[in-house]
Every structure is written in C-alpha cells, then in structure tokens.
Amino acid sequence: MNHWKEALKRKNVLFNLIFSYVCIGFVLIGVLSVVIINRVSEDVSRNLSKASEDKVHQSYYTADLLLTSTYNNFYNHFSKNEKILSAMYGHQFNTVETGAINQQLSDLIANNPLVYSLYVYNFRANTVFSTLNTTSSMEQFFDRGMNVILQQNKPYRLDYFIPRTETFKINDKTTEKNLITVVYSNLKSDGSMDAAMVVNLDQNVLQQLLNRGEQEKVIQTFIINEKGTVVSHDDSHFLNRNLKDRSDMERIMAASDKSGSFENQLDGKTYLTTYIKSDRLGWTFIGLADYDRLLAPIYQLKTFIIWVTVLFATIALGIAFFFTKTIYSPIYRLVHKLLADAPSVAGTQPIHELDVLARSFSALEEKIRGLQTEAVPAKKTEFLRALLQGTGGREQEDKSKWSGLGIQFPYDTFTSGVLRLDGYAELFGRYDLLDISLLKYGAGNIAAEVISPTYHVEVVDVSDDTLALLICTEDDGAESRQQMESMLRQITVYVKQYLKISVTAALGPSVNGAGQIKTSWSPALHMTQYRLSFGTGDLIPFAAETLMDFREYEYPMDLEKQMMDGVKSGEADKWREALTEFIDRIRENKFDEMMLALNQLVLVAERATAAMVDLSNDDIRYELESLRNKLRQPDSLEQFEARFVELCERTMSLRDQQFMGKTRKSVERILDYIHEHYTDPNLNLDILVEIVGLSTNYVRKIFKEQMGISVSQYITELRLQKAEEQLVRTSEPAKRIGELVGFENTSYFFVLFKKKYGKTPDHYRKDQAS
C-alpha cells in the first residue's frame, strides 16, 4: 500500500493525466450513447411510418375486397335470385311463400358476418321482408330511418354505401346499431322506385376486420366518405360525425394525391397521419399513429440514457475539472504572475504557456546573474566589516577572495580610520534614512577622492553614524601617519564645505596583516568618543587618553545643588554659572566618568522637573522627556551644556505658567465666594483663606497682583456698588439697604458711600429720581 502511495506521489502528474483521459472517455461514451439512441429513435420513427402505411393499405385492401365482393354478391341475387325477385314484384304472398322468402334472406346473410340484416321492399304490395323480423307493411316496418331514406331520396342521389346510426324496437326490445347501408333498386318509368333490396353492413364488424391482428391500438384506423363523414371508426363516438372541418381532414380532402402521410398535432399529441383514397368506394382510409404512445419506451430509454450520460458526464467533468485544475492551476498562477510582473516576456504575439515559462526562466537566469553582480558590493562590505571586527576567519587571509570582491590591497600594512557624523540625532529628525545614507555615501566619496591618489583605501559603512576607512600603506612610518592625519583633517573640512554637515575623524595605529586590522579599528573607534571633550568637526589625536592629564573622578555634588537651587528659585545667573563650572570640572575626567557625571545630572534634573512641574499633561511630559533624551548621547560637552540650558529654561517656564494658572484659579474662587456672600457682615480674609487653602499673606499677594486692590477694598467696593443699585431700583430706607449689602455699622456705610459718590445715600437717591 505504501509502495502505491509513494508511486502516486512521484508520478502525480502522470496519474492526473490518466484520470483526465478516463474522464474524456466517459464523456465520449455518453455522447456516443446519445447519438445511438437518436439514431434508434429515427429508425423507430421510420418503421412507425412504414407500419402506419402498411396498416392503412391493409385496411384499404381488406375493406375494398369485402365491400366489393359483398356488393357484387348481393347485386347478383338482386338481379337473378327468383325468390328475391318474387319478393320485390309479387302482389300477394301466402305463408309458405313468405316463409320461403324469409328463409332465402336468412340464408343469404348466414355466411357473411359483415352483413347485419337484409330488407326487401315491395312497393306494389306495400310489404317489407326483413331478416330481423316478420314481414310487415312499410308503415309498420321497424326501420323508420330506412323508409325515410327510400321515400325522400332517389336512387341516383344515394351513395353506394350510406353510413347511419339507427335505433330499432323489435319485439319490445330497443337496439341501437351503427350501420353501413347498400340500396339496390329498380325504377319505374316515372322515375319512382318500383322495388328495392337493402343490405345493412355492421360497422363494428367492419372495424374489427380492419383492426384484425392489432393487439394495441397504437395505430387508429378509420374511414370517411367524400363528404368527410366517418363511415367506420373503433370509437362509436365518432361514427357518422362529419370531420371535414378538422385540420387534418381538411388537408386530406384537399390533397390531390391518392395517398400520403404527414405529422400533425391533435389535442396536444403528435400523430403520424397516413391516408389512401379509394375512387371505387368513394372512401378515404386514414391511419392515425400515436407517436407519443408508440415511442414511449424509446423515449424512456432515451431519457434514461441521457440522464445516465449527464450523470457520468457531470462526474467526468467534475473529476476532469479537479485534476485539470490540479495540473494546470500551478502553471496558470505561475504564468499569470510572470506576465503580471514582467509583461515584456509575452511580447506582442500570443504565446504558449510553456513558452512563457521558458522565456521567464531565461530572463530569471539573466536576472540572477545581474543580482550576483550587484551583490558584489554588499558582499564586499560584509567582508570588510568582518575584517574590521576580526570575525573573518581564514577567509580574511585569502587574497583570491579579495580580488573576487574587487579589493586591491598590494601590501600587508593597514591603518584604520573613522568618520563619525556629528549631531546624528538631529540629522535623523531632519532627514529620512535614504537621505542619511546619501550623506554618508557623499562623505565616503570625498574620503576616497582625498586618500586614493596616495594610498589604496576602502570605505565601509559600519553603522548608522560611522564610516570606516581601511587604508593600505607600504610602510608604517611617521611620515605616512602624518600624511594620513592631514588627509583626515582635509576630509572633515570638505564634508563641512560641500555636504553642510560635520564629521569627527580618528586614526588608529598601523598593523601588519589582515588578521590584525581589528586592533587598529577598535582604538580608532574608541578615540571618536573623545569628541565629547575635544569637540566635533575635527580629527581626534591618536591616544588622547595618554595625552590628557586626567584628574581623579569626583562627582561635583556642590555644583549640582547650586544648579538645582537656582532653577527652583528662578535665579538664572546662579544656575548657569554653576552649570559652566560643572562642565569645566568633568572635562578633566575620562570619557566613561564624564558620561557617568552627565547621566547623573540628567537624572537629578528629571527629579527636579517632576517636583516643579505638573506632568499630568501628556504634551508637557513628552516634551520634557524629549529634551532629556537629547542629553543622554551628546556629541560634545558644549552641546550638552546648550541642551541642559534649554531643559532648565523650559522647566522654569512651564512652572511659571502653571503657577500663574493656579494663582488665577485661586483668585477666581475668591471672587466667586465674595460675590455670593458679600451680604454677610462677617465676610473677611480669614474665611477666604480657608476657602482656597492658602496662607493669608500669599492670598493678599496674589489677589493684589491680579486685581490691583486688597481683598477688603474689593469687598467694600462691591457692597457700595450693590447699595447704589438698590437705592435707584428700590424704595427701601438707606439704612436698611446698608444692612442688606453687608454693612453691620450703618453709620460707617453712610461715611463710605458719601466718600465714594460725594453724597449721602438719601441725597443720591433724590438726585437720581429727579
């Protein structure tokens, strides 16, 4: 079982193709089945038409033979039989003669089942002889209809065969019979009938003879006369009915051909109509073959085959669709993607999918070659970075590897140089990464143009703000080093001049062998950190740590306290002076010690900021945090100093703004309370101090600063204003108004009112009223 599964997986496409062909076979077999059943249906239809024609011809020949022989037989008896002649022309008949005549009539019809009855009319004796009853007079004869026919019609106006339906009453028994009547008669000289012999043929017997041998009536045979009246039909409902107005009968009666067939619709069914016209009888023999009934088994078989075919075709199409999709979908998706990504592959003319794949693979192969070529600079950069970091392994000694990457170092003496972008944080804020990459690319080109005329050099982009210069020299003498240092200073000048940015440079020691490049690169990179104390935009001298007279590290706590006190008190000169002295003191420390001091100062500033400023506002908190972040990686001490000044000034500004906001809110609360309770004689500063929760002196100060007058003055002015309004609008006594606005001593109220308005309250009211 596993073997088959593995084979199916290995040859999945082959099995899919086999299944697809099997499905196609199912479809073809189904289509062939439908074709065969259609051919069988056509053959059956032709056989049906032939059978219908044969049936009609058989009916025609049978009827023609029966009726012609019957007609001729009885005509011989009519003209030659003595007893018939005696019955037609005798004058009187005794019992013996009557019995002999009746016996003769019975004998004549005994051997012919087609003949139902036989009449002999004797007009002279007014007597009718019949095989169905005894002899009677014409007036009493039971077949009234025949009497009427003979009395109203002359023989030459009658057809040979007269179809009729007659109801008899014989011996109190009523019988209805469908008959075809043949009249033999002789005429007198005046044209009236002298005698007649009537032969009544049984229509049912005739129809049975016509349909003999047909077990199922799929072909309906009947006869009409020239007038369109049905002479014979297996359905008694149609007997003696005139069908000349029916569409198929109209077509038959109007046809000039003696025989023919056609298809027609009757009552929603399809019939094959076949006809033969008999000139001798004057009749038309018609056969109606029920297509639907006769072909029902064929239709059922056809329907069954069609449904089976549809089922198999559906299954086959489903399976074919599944496997075709399995095979073709990956190709389609691949081709579609290839055309979408590279429309030029298709060209202007339609091409096969495999051609698309072939062209795409060719283009892809060329593209891979191009990418390999384009990848050389990246591989080269990666290789040079590994040399600088000492992670190149044995490959770093393989000169063939160097030449494959385009590295041309003819000597084994190497010196590492460093270019670091100054103010990288500001550059990152001003430019996107692509622009910064272009700036570094420009700086690298300047370095290559300056150094390459003298030495072999490779410029490597090492990190976000750092470029490495790997210089190959013939020797490591002092003259070469001085020349390289001069070149690096020249590079810093050109970068600032042409690119408008600043770079700091450093040069590591010279080493022998590619494996020692790391020992040149690491010191050079370390030296660039001392731009913190030496400044930016220039060359940091080699071994700066050994050239500087470092002092023992001691964090200047006194200067820190002096700075923080000045910031909190708002004494700018004090904290600025302390900051400058702080920077000068730590400048004499090593790099790590300087960074430790600066970070500690930033931490203290952060705590002071949290104590001085309300940081609940997100904008303020993010702003101060952004300023502090700029302090954590300064390029130089001067840059740190300028940014720290910015932080302190912003902190003091925010504190003053928030302080003014709090002061304004406190004064507003005091004013609201005064306006609501000025009528209270006990309203004073102590109550207001409790309301705002501040000290008495502070309330006096901020109120005076905001309003320009003291609290007590404001209360008095408000009460006098309210009193003036009530003097004008109301008729209350002035003394009472003074009490209402909060003056406990009404005399004092009068004094203050006159001092403000120049008149006593009563006098002021009179003046306003007039």
**Count helices and strands in the chain by DSSP H and E runs:** 28, 16
Q: Is 744 part of any domain?
A: yes
Crossing angle between the packed helical segments 637-677 and 711-729, to the nearest 10 degrees: 40
**What is the per-residue pLDDT across 735-755, written as a single tens digit (0 to 9) for each?**
898 888 999 888 888 888 999
Domain at 706, CATH number = 1.10.10.60
195: helix, strand or coil: strand
Q: For the ranges 81-90, 401-410, 507-516, 695-704, which has the lowest average pLDDT?
A: 401-410
Q: Is 212 part of any domain?
A: no
Q: Is 174 part of any domain?
A: yes
Query: How many whole angstroms separate alpha carbon 69 and alpha carbon 63?
Result: 10
Residue owning tokens 């000025």: 678
352: nearest Cα among 335, 327, 373, 365 = 335
Q: What pLDDT is recorded for position 505?
A: 92
Given a contact cutoff of 8 angstroms between Cβ atoms, the answer to whether 206 and 200 are in contact is no
Query: How many whole angstroms separate alpha carbon 93 and alpha carbon 102?
Result: 12
- Residues 308-340 as b/e (b if ≥16 CB within 10 A, e otherwise) read ebeebbeebeeebeebbeebeeeeeeebeebee
Query: How many whole angstroms separate alpha carbon 151 and alpha carbon 605?
Result: 149
530 Cβ contact partners less than 8 Å away, ≥ 6 residues apart: 540, 544, 545, 591
599 is written with which tokens? 């970070």
Whether the per-residue pLDDT at 190 is higher than 60: the answer is yes
Whether the per-residue pLDDT at 278 is higher than 80: the answer is no
Same domain, 489 and 609: no
More confident residue, 528 or 290: 528
Whether the per-residue pLDDT at 393 is higher than 60: the answer is no
Q: Is 54 part of any domain?
A: no
Q: What pLDDT is recorded for position 404?
A: 65
Given a contact cutoff of 8 angstroms between Cβ atoms, the answer to whether 508 and 524 are in contact is yes
Same domain, 426 and 520: yes
Q: What pLDDT is recorded for position 144?
A: 84
Q: What pLDDT is recorded for position 215?
A: 46
Domain at 480, CATH number = 3.30.70.270
Q: What pLDDT is recorded for position 39?
A: 73
Please identify, among 181, 206, 231, the residue that sits at the C-terminal boundary of a domain. Answer: 206
Q: What's the total number of domains in the chain?
A: 4
Which residue segment(s) compose the domain that 520 sits in?
A: 408-547
Q: What pLDDT is recorded for position 3?
A: 65
Crossing angle between the packed helical segments 746-757 and 761-769, to the nearest 10 degrees: 50
Whether the per-residue pLDDT at 316 is higher than 80: the answer is no
294 phi and psi angles, rounded to 5 deg: -70, -40
Q: Is 259 part of any domain?
A: no
Same domain, 415 and 538: yes
Same domain, 723 and 649: no
**DSSP-assigned states of every residue in 230-293:** EEE-SSTTTTT-B-TTSHHHHHHHH--SSEEEEEEEETTEEEEEEEEEETTTTEEEEEEEEHHH
Query: How many whole angstroms separate alpha carbon 366 and alpha carbon 344?
Result: 14
Given a contact cutoff of 8 angstroms between Cβ atoms, the answer to whether 303 and 79 are in contact is no
Whether the per-residue pLDDT at 483 is higher than 60: the answer is yes
Please identify, among 502, 521, 547, the residue that sits at the C-terminal boundary of a domain. Answer: 547
Across residues 449-460, what is the average pLDDT? 89
Residue owning tokens 């297509």: 291
Same domain, 751 and 720: yes
Q: What pLDDT is recorded for position 445?
A: 92
Q: What pLDDT is recorded for position 418?
A: 92
Same domain, 524 and 577: no
Mean pLDDT for the chain? Answer: 79
Same domain, 613 and 732: no
606 is written with which tokens? 């952060």
Q: What angle do CA 401, 404, 406 make, to 5 degrees?
A: 110
Whether the per-residue pLDDT at 626 is higher than 60: the answer is yes
Q: What pLDDT is recorded for position 396?
A: 57
Query: How many whole angstroms separate alpha carbon 661 and alpha carbon 664?
Result: 5
- Residue 102 CA, distance from chain mean position: 99
On the 0-12 / 13-18 / 19+ scale of CB atoms within 10 A, 354 is: exposed
First to last CA, the chain: 126
Same domain, 151 and 173: yes
Q: Is 7 part of any domain?
A: no
Same domain, 412 and 466: yes
Give residue 11's pLDDT band: very low, low, confident or very high (50, 70, 90).
very low
Q: What pLDDT is recorded for position 131?
A: 87
Give residue 394's pLDDT band: very low, low, confident or very high (50, 70, 90).
low
Q: Is 222 part of any domain?
A: no
Give residue 490's pLDDT band: very low, low, confident or very high (50, 70, 90).
very high
Same domain, 489 and 593: no
Q: What pLDDT is recorded for position 450?
A: 92
Given a contact cutoff of 8 angstroms between Cβ atoms, the answer to whether 363 and 342 are in contact is yes
Domain at 89, CATH number = 3.30.450
Same domain, 195 and 98: yes
174: helix, strand or coil: strand
Residue owning tokens 């008095």: 716
Query: How many whole angstroms separate alpha carbon 535 and alpha carbon 587?
Result: 11
Across residues 95-107, what is the average pLDDT? 86
Q: Is 322 part of any domain?
A: no
**What is the per-residue pLDDT across 500-521, written as a single tens digit (0 to 9) for each?**
899 999 998 888 887 788 888 8
Given a contact cutoff of 8 angstroms between Cβ atoms, the answer to whether 469 and 457 are in contact is yes
Q: What pLDDT is recorded for position 313?
A: 73
Provide the H-helix boundaries in 635-710: 637-677, 685-692, 696-707
Same domain, 626 and 683: no
- Strand residues in 135-218 grouped as ranges (E): 136-137, 162-170, 173-187, 193-202
Please identify, among 150, 173, 206, the residue that sits at the C-terminal boundary of a domain. Answer: 206
**What is the per-residue pLDDT across 687-734, written as a single tens digit (0 to 9) for each?**
888 887 777 887 888 888 888 899 899 999 999 999 999 988 998 998
Q: What pLDDT is recorded for position 14?
A: 52
Query: How many whole angstroms separate alpha carbon 349 and alpha carbon 196?
Result: 99
